[in-house]
Amino acid sequence: MADSQWIFTESELLRTPSIFDGLTPEKERENRGKGVNFIFQVGIMLKLPQVTLATASVLLHRFYVRHSMADVPGRPGFHYYSMAATSVFLATKIEEDCRKMRELVIACVRVAQKDPQKTVDEQDKEYWRWKDNILHNEDVLLEALCFDLTLEPPYKILFEYLNLFGESDNRRLRNSAWAFINDSCMTTLCLMYSSRYIAASALYAAAKHCGTDMADDEDGRPWWEVIDVELIDIKKACNFLANVYENAHIKNGRDVSIHESTPEFGDESTAKTRATATRSKETPITETSEGVEDSRKRTRSPADAQERTVVNGQDEGHGDAVTNGEVKRRKVTNGHATINGDGANISMANGPGEMQARHDTVDDISEEGEVES
């Protein structure tokens, strides 16, 4: 497998060059996130597609597996802003969505200095500092990647899965899965699982959130066996991202993300995203304004609704509106939604064709505005 050299275990990712040079694992993850956020902000300014930005984030994560971002005596580290800009430059070539060097440099200067309206020209010292850094670091990045530029973004695989299971018109499911992949770019999930597994995990998380069941095939195989992935690995990937959400920084004096993990072991025949033959008979297919989908949706009994705490008509634990003993799916507010049951939280802010960054303003960029050459 071409990507096998870039797949690592969690324990191996605790022995990166940056950690050996003194950074804590938490600080390294934070700096990686800042670098990816920088990529997203620059991409927004350049109007780059999400696939290109995802490719750039993978390049950045792979680079720091072999190089350090920490400064040590006699050897400065590679700053994550500088390498993020270089990753964008290389990703635009890989995805054949190039931008002029001048446009890229100006966007980098504006994002780094937190001034999206800053006037930058070729007479500016910062312009040449960034340009020289990008051109110099391109060779370093290519060498670190061993010139392995064959990437398969999980977005394309996700849409193949949606078409395979007849869910391509399910907009809510599609947007939920898309948001999961967007958020995964901020983490090292791309260093632990292949694009195929990330796409399958996004589909699993989205199906749990949307209450969507996917029918078994003619041989009675569940959907994850149809696409040849292991359910336990899918759950591990979902839990990894759930842990990232749970460990998010506290903002405004309160924890902004409290999420439940998915049990990794259990009876596969009763998996919430699986529509078995028996369940399909119990919930016949009916036509709705959203298309043929009732056979894939889960139902809850009034007893289930009574077990939850209801405040102002909203289920606090799962965000479901409870009316006369019936549960109605809640709408997404503030760009976030929580997977029902034993699932993890995913961001719902964006769908296909849009970009998602958990830190989506220039003000969230760290105070380091300059990159030493």
Mean of the pLDDT values across residues 295-310? Answer: 40
How many Å separate Cα 152 from the centre of its chain? 15
| 3-state SS assignment for residue 244 | helix
What's the confidence (pLDDT) of residue 244?
80
User: Taking 50 as the threshold, does the pLDDT of residue 355 lie above it?
Assistant: no
What's the confidence (pLDDT) of residue 262?
54
Residue 265 has a CB neighbour count (10 Å cut-off) of 8
More confident residue, 275 or 236: 236
Using alpha carbons only, what angle is made at residue 50 by residues 44 and 55, rounded to the nearest 5 degrees? Answer: 110
Quote the CA–CA distance of 165 and 215 in Å, as a whole number.
8
Using alpha carbons only, what angle is made at residue 268 by residues 263 and 274, rounded to the nearest 5 degrees? Answer: 105
Radius of gyration, CA atoms only, the chain: 22
pLDDT band for position 2 (50/70/90)? Answer: low
What's the confidence (pLDDT) of residue 138?
94
Mean of the pLDDT values across residues 195-224? Answer: 88
* Most trustworthy range by pLDDT among 36-40, 146-150, 266-270, 271-275: 36-40
Q: CB-side exposure of 197: number of CA atoms within 13 Å?
A: 20
User: Taking 60 as the threshold, does the pLDDT of residue 155 lie above it?
Assistant: yes
Residues 331-351 as b/e (b if ≥16 CB within 10 A, e otherwise) read: ebeeebbbbbeebbbbbbbbb
Mean of the pLDDT values across residues 223-237? Answer: 90
User: Taking 70 as the threshold, does the pLDDT of residue 237 lie above it?
Assistant: yes
Mean of the pLDDT values across residues 138-162? Answer: 91
At 110-136, the pLDDT tens digits run 999 888 888 888 888 889 999 999 999
For the chain, list the strands marked E by DSSP: 214-215, 274-275, 287-288, 291-292, 310-311, 314-315, 321-323, 326-328, 336-338, 345-347
What's the confidence (pLDDT) of residue 137?
94
At 80-115, the pLDDT tens digits run 999 999 999 999 999 988 889 999 999 999 999 888
Tell me the average pLDDT of the chain.
74
What's the confidence (pLDDT) of residue 40?
95
At 168-193, the pLDDT tens digits run 888 999 999 999 999 999 999 999 99
The whole-model pTM stands at 0.68
Give the largest CA-CA distance in the chain.
71
User: Taking 70 as the threshold, does the pLDDT of residue 228 lie above it?
Assistant: yes
At 24-61, the pLDDT tens digits run 999 999 999 999 999 999 999 999 999 999 999 999 99
What's the confidence (pLDDT) of residue 324?
44
What's the confidence (pLDDT) of residue 347?
42
Mean of the pLDDT values across residues 323-351? Answer: 41
Quote the CA–CA distance of 36 and 54 in Å, as a whole number.
9
